[in-house]
Amino acid sequence: MASKPAVGVLALQGDVAEHLRALRAAGAEPAGVRRPAELDAVDGLVIPGGESTTIWKLIEAFGLAEPLRKRLADGMPTFGSCAGMILLAARLPDAASGQQTLGAIDMTVRRNAFGRQVDSFEEDLDLAGIGGPPFRAVFIRAPWVEQAGDGVQVLATEPVAGRIVAVRQGPALATAFHPELTADDRIHQLFVGMVKESA
């Protein structure tokens, strides 16, 4: 592989540009992914924050559901933030009608879990797997992980609600918050490192 891995951002809806910026800063060669051929061309994929019901509808409309499931089953590194975390879950009890997930991480995720009163907030988190000071996490109508399977590594817990908000299972990484919205690129660096290792 070239020294800069090709990392796609699923570019159907959501904060695509912010992930492209953060990936470039973290040493990857980023590219938007909308078509199966574009998915074939990347070494790893970010699924951004946005609206998981809308992203799912567009995944189906663009013929990406089976190609995505196949790449994930083959071990393609993936990172989902917020709506992306929802899409990576194996179980989504409060899915909207017709909404499916990709099932890359053995976890049950609850959408909009922190409630309307706390629509958006920021919190300093201790994150396993990255060095340095706590990570300033931005939560926007965020999900949480209700239950994580034995093979899932918990990377961070939100201190007030005591809920799991960052996980990794093998090549799949997910955060309930939005690291792409801050200037701290350590999570994107972690992910780009995972992509390099898997190549």
Q: Which residues are catalytic?
A: 82, 178, 180
Name the amino acid, one letter, at 192. V
* CA dist 104 → 131, 138, 171 (Å): 26, 23, 9
Give the relative orientation of helices 52-61 and 65-73 as an angle to the nearest 10 degrees: 100
Quick one: 56 or 62, whose CB is closer to ligand GLN? 56
- The dihedral built from the CA positions of residue 87, 78, 113 and 58, taken in this order, carries a sign that is negative
Does residue 141 bind ligand GLN (CB under 6 A)?
yes
Quick one: 82 or 165, whose CB is closer to ligand GLN? 82
Residues numbered 47-66 forming contacts with ligand GLN, rule: CB under 6 A: 49-52
Quick one: 182 or 198, whose CB is closer to ligand GLN? 182
Residues numbered 78-117 forming contacts with ligand GLN, rule: CB under 6 A: 82-83, 86, 111-112
Beta strands 105-110 and 144-148, pairing class:
antiparallel
Selection from 168, 80, 86, 83 nearest residue 127 by Cα? 168
Quick one: 21 or 57, whose CB is closer to ligand GLN? 57
Strand-pairing partners, residue 144, are: 110
Q: Residues touching ligand GLN: how many (CB under 6 A)?
A: 11
Provide the minimum distance between the beta carbon of 138 and ligand GLN in the complex, in angstroms, as a whole number. Answer: 9
- Interface residues toward ligand GLN, by CB under 6 A: 49-52, 82-83, 86, 111-112, 140-141
